[in-house]
Structure 1
Amino acid sequence: MTREGPLASHYPAVAAMVVAALAPYLVLSAALDPLMPIIAKQLAMSEGTTNLAEGLANAGYALGTVLSVQLAQHLPQRRMLIIYATVLVIGSALAAAATEPTQFIVGHVLQGLCTSLLLIAAVPPLVTGFPPTKLRPTAAILNLSIFGAVALGPLIAGIQAEANAWRPLFWVVTGIAAVALVLSLLTFQDVPPADPTATRSPIAVGLAAAGCVAAFYGASQFLPHQSLDGTALAPLAAGVALILILLIQQYRARRPLLIVRPLTSTLPVAGIAVAMSAAAASLPAIALTGAALRDRYSPLDLGLLYLPEFGGAVIAAIVFAKLFTTRAVHYFALAGMLSLIAGIAVIAMSVPPTRISTLIGTGLIGIGVGATVTPALFIAGFSLRNAALQRVFAIIELLRAVAAFMITPILLYIAVTVGDSPAAGARVALWVCLGLAVGGTLLGIALYTLGGIRPPSPAVQRWFGGEPAWDSPPLLAAIRRNSSG
């Protein structure tokens, strides 16, 4: 008989486990920047070491998306989920109790790695393991777990920084991770490996590991050096090249670990483009806004200025839950990109922004991010069979993490080195963010147009039956039809 926990089929418990697994690190990813000076002072860390800690933790998050898929093919998935949650608790406790830099870095890297391992292991079963009637609440929960947590980060950081403390936040994170572990035991189902006959892919995992570490290490070196020397550029370029090689190798592989080739039709490519551009524009825009306002407000006041971002994320999650099983999900993603563009523009027009423009801008950015990335995940996911959802989420999260976490330190570097004042540099970097958002929007519209497709409604029942929810035409299908005719 299959062993099960007492809450194995209890949807609220499984959903709560996913929230507790994902939220802690994602809150930290947005909260650490204002807290790092306090951490650095107490642990005797240099600026370069603090940036390295953040960079390697983000590299761990990106790598975990690939590693989780590899482990799921050959090892019992729910047993692995318990291991991931256990290591997350250990890593969180190490970071919270750290008395020197190495202990903090190791703990924080484990937090990043285990969060993405849990994301890929726990989220797809929540989506496909319950009846279609649960899709709407699942969509809202997923949106809030990822982007609501990120949006709350600046406020939580402001509360901690105002108290000149950081350990309470890390201990709370440890406690939430422990809750995730307990819930993973209570909801346990002894699920077998996804595909024991699958080819092991050490090359793919090795390329992902080397590429993520090199790229994020290089990006983390921009601010400490404040110069374009080989210390930052060489590993950054090498890391990006290795990630590109990974995608090409997986596209050409006969039995790939990451399903790149099936994602190269119109709708998945459009979804991935939107997710990457929204992530690459929003996270640095929020960081740049904080850097521009840090000397004008107390940490708590600055954190409160970001509260509309969370409100926007909540609104987007509720609306998305209502719309995402209709054709409106495509237009909703477009509306989200337009909201993101408007939010960045409001802030960029006056740097440092006023209190009103910051409140309006962060609210629009919150709506924009909540209305783009998760819809883009499902636009890509509905284009393939639901059995492939884990691998779809893995590759999109890998690319989204690279786009968001790697570009942010580069744009912060631009802000402090370009122009004749910090405000001028921040303005230039914000216009770059705006350009990324506009470019992603135009690319998505162009892909739909050149694919000759009218946004379809997902056939949810068919998707749960094992077939794609819609048919995605080949890239540039309209041009191909015209040229062949």
Structure 2
Amino acid sequence: MRQGPFAGRYPAVAVMVTFALIPYLALSAAIEPLVPTITAQLGMTPQMMSLASGLANAAYAAGTVLAVQLAQHLPQRRMLLAYAVVLVVGAVVTAGAVNGVMFTFGLIFLGLATSMLLIAAAPSLTIGFPKKRLPQTAMIMNMCVFGAVAIGPFIGGVQSAAGQWRPLFWIIAGIAVLALAMAVLTFEDAPPADPTAPRDLRAIGLAAAGCVLAFAGAARLTTHGLFDVEVALPMFVGLALIVTLITYQFRARRPLLTVRAVLTSSIPVAGVGLALFAAAASIAATSLTAAALMDELSAFRVGLLYLPELGGAIVMAVVFGVVISRRAMHYLPLVGMVLLAAGIVVFQLALPANQPLVLLGAALTGLALGATVAPALFVTGFSLQSNSLQRVFAIIELLRAVAAFLVAPILANIVVAASADRLDGTRHALWIGFGLAIAGAVFGIAVYALSGARPQKPDLDRFLEGDAAAWHSPPLLARLRGTAAPAPTRSEPVDRGLPAPAPIAEADLDRATPGPICFAYDGSDLARSAIVAAPGLVGPGRDAVVVCVWQPADVGFTPPPDERFDPNNAHEVARMAERVAAAGAHLAEQAGFRARSVAVEATPTWQGIVFAAQAEKARLIVLGPHPRGGLLAALQGSVSATVAAHTAIPVLFVPSPADTETDKTVESGASPQVNGRSAAVGVGE
């Protein structure tokens, strides 16, 4: 395998990611003060300049979907090099542009390459290094995205005061070249994610067409009204195509994006929704206020007044790094929305040009930006398995870009349409932004409350190892539907020194909860051994239900060796899970039980086991544990202990014959005696 001299070195990879993301994101916030200079020198109209920015933003949004598709079929690190080359080309073409067409194409390349680099590089930085690096990664990601955006107005103001724009663009090109150099130095060849995945040209086409139409329509708001056909038709058709993309991916048999997993689970829905509200509301707090201030102050002075926004972003990036491994991480986006609402109110009071209040408002907005979108992104990612992180980033960045880049021109149009007085119109738009900030906070709280979700400390070891999500996220609106999960609790330490469980007395089992015995069966030899050995422990002739838990893509069970199915096709996975469960039920019948089978879709696995046992009113849960010890056990955790911690149904471990013969210990958290309330404990992985 080829690799560069700095491959696997965290500081070098972090520098590469930083240089890759900063150029376009900083430029997108810095370009507004430079528009008069650029248009004059390149012979562009303001409408042409608006269209160039809109198409670049569309490329950024649609590029996330394209990057996920390419990652499935092409070597991922080699593609990262290709994206870095496109970034350099875009920066050089833009800086050296001699006309508007050349400038527009350069911006499009910059936007496209930046989003693809984000999807290709950021997840590997997040999950490709030990847990101790995660706080630093959180700070870097926060600063790359929102630090770059926060410093944009200052950079644009300084460059505008000089009456030039090319020096800034050549600096951007230089940073892009450094990003390419670091991509080469940190190169570590990696295979495609899934060469068998379908080539979903429909998803890519919907994303590209939807973003281009929506952003091109919004770009015409500089010279047209919101409901003029030149604006409304492409913009609303584009939004309809984006909605169609989300719906299509939600229902697809082998989706490119994990839309279904995100939109059916409470914490991801709260995280994505809050990120969208924050992205939309922050526009009112920054770009519109800055535009109004430039009627009274120079672009250079406005840039200086916005420097506290960078300071606030830095402070909150550090805070995010501290809380990312704590329960407080759930509260940070809510705090950010409150700070954003407060910043908008301060900006209201600062207009037309109260400079001390502008400084305060900028500081509050910087704190808010650092506390909302990046933390919400990680809250969403931690709710799913780490192998989904790349697709989660793609979904959030696609939707965030749509929210942020579409709301800006719409609110700017409202500024003009609402009142003949620009200042009065800006105040109207700021109140809309304030309402979005409050709505985002209320939305997040409501989703948690109505779904039974609770802030939890993330289990980062399990997440980084890919075994499970970092915490339990109940189904969306589970409390309203009467399916709320029991509150997650911390598992007690597992005692690995107890002997195999003795047979459970008939009287003890009869005193347990009435109902069948629940076997968790995943098709493994250990689960098979547990069913075979169970009659000697609980007695034959009882009712039993055999449960196989499955998930799309991750599957969650072992199919028969001669069976073939598509792991990314939810329907095929479900059918195979039913066959595995039926095979387990047949095995239980051979062992002397009256058995039937159930296949359950659930993430994580322990949740499906517990829910199925509760739904069947099981008297006992029986599983064959996968014995682990030492460092592996510490890193991967135990589904067994998690099941035992989340149910009052007695739980029995049944060791495999090999474990018994070699005197290996069995995972256990209590005596094998059944007491009717506490778990006897025993749960298979």
TM-score when normalising by structure 1? 0.98
Please list the CA deviations of residues 197-249 of structure 1 after superposition, one character each: whole Å capped at 9, or x if unmatched.
Answer: 11110000000000000000011111122463110110000000000000000
Whether the aligned pair in 2 keeps the contact of 1:309 and 1:364 (CA below 8 Å) is: yes
Q: C-alpha distance in 1, partners of 2:352/2:147?
A: 25
Distance 1:59 1:287, change over 3 A: same
Larger radius of gyration between Structure 1 and Structure 2: 2
Instruction: Give the secondary structure class of the aligned counterpart of 2:98.
Output: coil
Count of residues in Structure 1 that have an aligned counterpart in Structure 2? 484
Q: Indicate the residue corresponding to 2:42 in structure 1.
A: 43
Q: Which amino acid aligns with 2:35?
A: M
1:35-434, aligned counterparts within 5 Å?
Answer: 35-226=34-225, 228-264=227-263, 265-434=265-434
1:474 corresponds in structure 2 to 475
Listed one character per residue, the Cα deviations across residues 224-282 of structure 1 (whole Å, up to 9, x for unaligned) are 22463110110000000000000000000010001100112100000001111101110
Contact 1:460 1:469 in 2 (8 A): yes
Q: List alignment gaps of at least 5 residues for structure 1.
A: none
The CA RMSD over aligned residues, in Å, is: 1.3
Secondary structure of the residue that 1:372 maps to in structure 2? helix
- 2-side partners of 1:226 and 1:296: how far apart? 26
Alpha-carbon separation, structure 2, partners of 1:179 and 1:252: 42
Kept after mapping to 2: 8 A contact 1:216/1:406: yes
Letter in 1 for 2:377: L
Q: How much has 1:454 moved relative to structure 2?
A: 1.7
Q: Distance in 1 between matches of 2:420 and 2:238?
A: 32
In 1, the alpha carbon distance for the partners of 2:259 and 2:380 equals 11
Q: Distance in 2 between matches of 1:109 and 1:382?
A: 32
User: How many Å separate the matches in 2 of 1:25 and 1:482?
Assistant: 45
The secondary structure found in structure 1 opposite 2:102 is helix
User: How far, CA to CA, are the matches of 1:452 and 1:90 in structure 2?
Assistant: 49
CA contact (8 A) 1:351 1:424 kept: no
Contact 2:21 2:145 in 1 (8 A): yes
CA distance in 1, matches of 2:28, 2:365: 17
* CA separation of 1:158 and 1:350: change in aligned 2, threshold 3 A: closer
Give 1:300 shift: 1.3
Give the drift of 1:283: 2.4
Q: Is the 8 A contact 2:60 2:112 kept in 1?
A: yes
More helix by share: 1
Distance in 2, matches of 1:277 and 1:483, equals 26
- Cα distance in 1 for residues equivalent to 2:114 and 2:452: 38
> Is the CA contact 1:450–1:478 (under 8 Å) kept in the aligned structure 2?
yes
Q: Distance in 2 between matches of 1:274 and 1:312?
A: 20
> Deviation above 6 Å: which 4+ runs of structure 1?
482-485
Contact 1:72 1:194 in 2 (8 A): yes
Tell me, in whole angstroms, the C-alpha distance in 2 between the residues paired with 1:59 and 1:91.
15
Write the letter of the residue equivalent to 1:313.
Answer: A
CA contact 1:289–1:352 (8 Å) conserved in 2: no
Going from structure 1 to structure 2, the CA distance change for 1:248 and 1:161 (only over 3 Å counts) comes to: same
Deviation of 1:33 after TM superposition, in Å, equals 0.9
AA of the residue aligned to 2:221: F
For residues 310-359 of structure 1, what are the alpha-carbon distances to aligned partners after superposition, in whole Å with 9 as ceiling and x for unaligned? Answer: 00000000000000111100111111111011001111245324111111
Question: How many angstroms apart in 2 are the aligned matches of 1:356 and 1:259?
Answer: 45
Tell me the secondary structure at the aligned position of residue 4 of structure 2.
coil
Secondary structure at the counterpart of residue 295 of structure 1: coil
Task: Tell me the residue number matched to 2:559.
Answer: none
1:168 partner letter: P
Equivalent residue number for residue 537 of structure 2: none
**1:295 to partner: Cα distance:** 2.1
